[in-house]
Structure 1
Amino acid sequence: MEEVYEFLKNAKTWYLATVDEEGNPQVRPFGAQNIFEGKLYIQTGLKKKVAKQMLSHPRIAITGMYQGKWIRLNADAIYDARIEAQQSMLDANPGLKHMYQAGDGNTAVFYLKNAVAEICSFTEAPEIIRF
């Protein structure tokens, strides 16, 4: 899991895919990740469509590139309403603090469960990471 965290962190921008109410895929850029209590977390706002989509259909996909390699990650996004999890995310990603505050009713953190990540390149066999 730590290797996946480092890959996403180094990629800086990675892409999250969800499913909307009509079953259509939706993809958008993200860039906030954190490890809290041994789980990989991502963050968004509860008022955003992406949060509503993850709450309705928790199966997500993430992709990104870094140094000629790319990651493909599939997981269940599990909502964690605890203020401690929110604060940990904001402390790890201080750039979010101008938009979010722990306990503000909008900050939403999700941890990844049943995750399978593949780190791939054109020259090496894919590395599979499960967590």
Structure 2
Amino acid sequence: MDEVLKFLTDNKVFYLATVNGDNPALRPFGFVMKYDNKLCFCTGNTKDVYKQLKANPKCQISATSPEGKWLRLNGKVVFNTTKESQEAALNIMPMLKNIYKVGDGIFEIFYIDEAEATFYDMMTVSKKIKF
């Protein structure tokens, strides 16, 4: 998990894909943290991404490095919003305070369960990690 966290934080913007009815939906994300030994992300419960993940928790995250390596992370989303997880997120990325507040009824924390990460380079699969 730590290698996945490092890749995502080193490459700043990554993309989260959800299922939207019969279609995929993809959007950029930029926040990730390790919390309670889980790889956690955040969103607002007023957003389509939240509604899509509640309807179908399967997701995929993809990120690419400037060197041409990339990561694909598959799993199921589990929402785990607590005051403590919200505080941890705001401490890690203070700019989120411009959007969310602890206990605001909108700010949601989730992690990827049954996660399988695959690292690639331009020619081959280089490594698979399950957590």
TM-score range (shorter-chain normalised) is over 0.9
Q: Distance in 1 between matches of 2:24 and 2:125?
A: 28
What count of residue pairs does the alignment treat as equivalent? Answer: 130
Tell me the equivalent position of 1:90. Answer: 90
**2:60 pairs with 1:39:** no
How far does residue 34 in structure 1 lie from its aligned partner after superposition? 0.5
Counting only pairs closer than 5 Å after superposition, residues 12-31 of structure 1 correspond to structure 2 as: 12-20=12-20, 22-31=21-30
Tell me the equivalent position of 1:3. Answer: 3
How far does residue 123 in structure 1 lie from its aligned partner after superposition? 5.0
Letter in 1 for 2:8: L
How far does residue 82 in structure 1 lie from its aligned partner after superposition? 1.1
- TM-score by structure 2 length? 0.94
Letter in 2 for 1:117: A
Decide whether aligned partners of structure 1 residues 23 and 124 sit closer, same or farther in structure 2, where only a CA change above 3 A counts: closer
How far does residue 83 in structure 1 lie from its aligned partner after superposition? 1.3
Counting only pairs closer than 5 Å after superposition, residues 43-82 of structure 1 correspond to structure 2 as: 43-66=42-65, 67-82=67-82
Q: Distance in 1 between matches of 2:124 and 2:59?
A: 26
Letter in 1 for 2:27: R
What per-residue deviation string (whole Å, max 9, x for no partner) do you get for residues 52-81 of structure 1?
111111010000111321001101110012
Q: Distance in 1 between matches of 2:26 and 2:105?
A: 24
How far does residue 124 in structure 1 lie from its aligned partner after superposition? 5.5
Letter in 2 for 1:31: G
Cα RMSD of the aligned pairs, angstroms, is 1.1
What per-residue deviation string (whole Å, max 9, x for no partner) do you get for residues 13-67 of structure 1?
00000011x2211000000000001000011111001011111110100001113
Quote the sequence identity (%): 38
Identify which range, 108-117 or 93-102, moves more after superposition: 93-102
